[in-house]
Amino acid sequence: MLLRLPLPRVMLLAGRPYSSISRLALPRQQCRSYSASVDSSVEPIRGLDLGVAHSKLLLRTVAAMRGNAELQAQGVSEGDSKKMNMCQAINDAMRHTLATDDTAVVFGEDVAFGGVFRCSVGLAEEFGNERIFNTPLTEQGIAGFAIGMAAMGHTAVAEIQFADYIFPAFDQIVNEAAKYRYRSGNEFNVGGLTIRAPCAAVGHGGHYHSQSPEAFFAHVPGIKVVVPRSPIQAKGLLLAAIRDPNPTLFFEPKMLYRSAAEQVPTDDYVLPLSKAEIVRPGKDVTVVGYGAQIYALENAIQMIERDMPGVTCELIDLRTILPYDADTVAESVAKTGRLVVAHEAPRTQGFAAELAAEIQERCFLRLESPIERVCGLFVPHPLVFERFYMPCAVRSYEAIRRSLEY
């Protein structure tokens, strides 16, 4: 039946504001595609400023940065800071690594001139072409070369230009890097390996420049998988990933490269891997995400707390996908009795399913409603229909509300 729909008419309706759709003689259930609307005055948004630009989670001022408990624990909150976007923060992390570790090298496609997103700009001029260099267009070769360098004692920071193109390197990462220590009985390791890759939606990337492949690698023992949400997080987590004694995949939501900006400490610091952060405390429902999805969840929570007075939602950023911090999530769910998990990757076999199963086992007797998952649709990441695919603030709002009203 879906294949027989008059597609141009469907596209026409989807592009209209909800207010104009509601005037058509359509059943109510066909008028509820809130997430397809571009009109911010419609239900349930009603004029709320959405997106990263308006986020209250970003530490935009020196005072906010100095009040951060993790930065205080690292002893960098009172030092100098500089306004950086996420691209600049990642660049600063690699600069610290190169300056303090003579074995460190950075390489990948177009990396020497700064990379397509300019994350490595200026590094070749500062540290030389023997440490910052381009590679051929072969992701399998990049990963294999990085494994070899790490095995010989180097700190290898490799870039896969887009996470969508990491799949040719899958065998090298899964069968070589992840198993190197285990198969040698801990005689050898490639713990100095870090692979960076821009991931997730960017608004116009289509199916080859928008994917979120973290769940593929979260199934693999022997590696770590990290996804930051902001410049401060990106710098601290990347430095931690580079210095961790295990090979690490560092997925960078490219939508945030320039849209997220914070006062970032200029000193060297690390943030803990495998430790989730409660970025917004609450008592009625636990909401979990990572990367750019955190901002959609923040907006959903703002709408819920506006529309349901007295309700508060606890928002948790996982930060590390493997090994993830189930304890923090379980403690929160034991308090709230409800859980909503969201990510951009498709729902089927996505990481939300793993987290939902783990929390169901740990917190079954404390759950007040079924665990909700808000994810990308089970289709290749679309171009013109990306707005329908995304687990946006409105879809997240509806899932949180379902959980609360169950």
Residue 202: Cβ within 10 Å count = 18
**How far is 170 from 137, CA to CA, in rounded Å?**
15
**Known catalytic membership, residue 219:** no
- Which positions ≥6 away from 186 have C-beta within 8 Å? none
- Asked if 193 and 150 touch (Cβ cutoff 8 Å), the reply is yes
Told to judge if 204 belongs to the known catalytic residues of this protein, a careful annotator would answer no
d(CA 78, CA 236): 16
Contact call for residues 75 and 81 (beta carbons, < 8 A): no
Angle at 24 between CA 18 and CA 28, to 5 degrees: 70
Cross-strand pairs, 342: 374
The residue from 96, 109, 159, 209 that is catalytic is 209
d(CA 308, CA 44): 12
Specify the DSSP element, H or E, that contains 262. Answer: strand 261-265
DSSP H/E element including 95: helix 86-100
3-state class (DSSP) for residue 155: strand
Residues 6 or more apart in contact with residue 62 via CB below 8 angstroms: 81, 263
* Residue positions annotated with a catalytic role: 139, 209
